[in-house]
């Protein structure tokens, strides 16, 4: 609760400083795609003002994510990604986007994830709505905590009240067993430098079932490719009550975007506070057949991560 209070205080402080930066209608950043595992890896088309003008366009983007964190969870090995994407956005609101993420961690260099997204955006003066369907292709060697998610469907909505914009997102993640997720958020966008520079302090609470996390522990965390061939024993693990919906983390972020003609430079720092640690059952079996079982709560740690990117519209 103390961490949540700190986040609320930081967000309130940003609102207090409104007098120093000229704020106006947030239509200028309408049409952003709120991808559920996105914010961690794909960085798909966030906060570009082209959707304000009803015309078709292409958008190419390159970005760097220093570490993949999903719903406050992360692997013991860092996951820095360099992601390139290209998308086509029709003036009707329909869009399609493809991206590829290269894992930059020492000794792990490879294409770790490819993604195809498609959907529809509806934008009015006050309302933003986006429906997105995504397909993910992870490397067999991937240790990303969401690497057992094969695809997802998200619906995002936001209504601008002027001084604040409430947001709501519902997500289905398709893994060994379908996950149900939801996000509630508050944000406000400030504009300066003739509206070319935007700052958007944001607070969200993320909740979900954890079947994806259970599959990660079963098939990735202690897989043959990572551990079994090296340490000489087999570990089988699963997450207790993975189908139970619960709040998983609170996040405070401060996306910054600066537009120069057809280019947009973005920087998005995020601080995640995970809650409700999972209970993990792990069974270790040695080569001689000796079995040991351990039940423990995962150790949760707050995470700071960021994405920096460059986009070009044409």
Phi, psi of 159 (to 5 degrees): -130, 125
Helix H, strand E, coil C: the string for 241-292 is CCCCCEEEEEEEECCEEEEECCEEEEEEEEEEEECCCCEEEEEEEECCCCEE
What pLDDT tens digit does each residue of the chain (314 aa) get?
A: 555 444 444 444 443 334 333 333 322 333 333 333 233 333 334 444 444 446 788 999 999 999 999 999 999 899 999 999 999 988 898 999 999 999 999 989 999 999 999 999 888 889 989 999 999 999 999 999 999 999 999 999 999 999 999 999 999 999 999 999 999 999 999 999 888 899 999 999 999 999 999 999 998 888 755 654 556 677 888 999 999 999 999 999 999 999 998 899 999 999 999 999 999 998 888 777 788 888 989 999 999 999 999 999 88
Structure tokens at 295: 């039940």
Q: 109: part of which helix (H) or strand (E)?
A: none
Bridge partners of residue 282, in order along the sequence: 237, 294
SS3 106: coil
Closest C-alpha to 151, from 117, 107, 180, 193:
117
Using only the alpha carbons of the chain, give its radius of gyration. 20
Strand order in the sheet with 233-239: 233-239, 279-286, 291-297
Q: How far apart are CA 56 and CA 91, in angstroms?
A: 5
DSSP conformation letters of 161-222: -SS-EEEEEEEEEESSS-EEEEEEEEE--EEETTTTEEE--EEEEEEE--HHHHHHIIIIIT
Token match 């300066």: residue?
192
Cα Dmax for the chain: 71
Tally Cβ neighbours within 10 Å of residue 312.
14
Cα 238 from Cα 228, distance rounded (Å): 16
2-202+252-277+303-313 fold:
Porin (2.40.160)
**Which secondary-structure segment (H or E) carries 53?**
none
């Amino acid at each position: 609760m103390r961490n949540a209070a700190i986040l609320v205080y930081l967000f309130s402080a940003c609102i207090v400083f409104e007098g120093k930066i000229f704020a106006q209608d947030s239509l200028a950043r309408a049409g952003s795609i709120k991808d559920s595992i996105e914010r961690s890896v794909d960085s798909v088309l966030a906060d570009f003002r082209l959707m304000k003008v009803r015309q078709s366009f292409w958008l190419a983007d390159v970005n760097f994510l220093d570490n993949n964190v999903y719903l406050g969870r992360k692997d013991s090995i860092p996951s820095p990604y360099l992601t390139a994407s290209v998308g086509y956005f029709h003036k009707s609101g329909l869009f399609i986007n493809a991206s590829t993420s290269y894992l930059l961690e020492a000794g792990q260099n490879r294409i770790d994830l490819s993604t195809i997204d498609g959907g529809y955006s509806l934008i009015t003066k006050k309302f933003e709505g986006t429906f997105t369907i995504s397909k993910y292709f992870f490397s067999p060697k991937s240790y990303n905590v969401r690497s057992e998610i094969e695809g997802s469907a998200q619906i995002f909505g936001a209504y601008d009240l002027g001084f604040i914009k409430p947001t709501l997102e519902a997500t289905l993640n398709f893994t060994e067993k379908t996950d149900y997720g939801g996000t509630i958020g508050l944000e406000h966008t400030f504009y300066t430098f003739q509206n070319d520079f935007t700052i958007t302090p944001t607070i969200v609470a993320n909740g979900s079932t954890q079947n994806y996390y259970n599959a990660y522990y079963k098939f990735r965390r202690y897989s043959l490719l990572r551990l079994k061939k090296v340490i000489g024993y087999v570990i089988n693990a699963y997450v207790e009550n993975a189908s139970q919906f619960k709040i998983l983390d609170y996040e405070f972020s401060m996306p910054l975007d600066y537009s120069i003609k057809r280019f947009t430079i973005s920087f998005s720092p995020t601080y995640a506070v995970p809650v409700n640690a999972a209970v993990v059952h792990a069974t270790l079996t040695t080569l001689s057949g000796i079995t040991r079982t351990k039940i423990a709560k995962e150790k949760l740690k707050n995470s700071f991560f960021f994405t920096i990117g460059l986009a070009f519209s044409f």
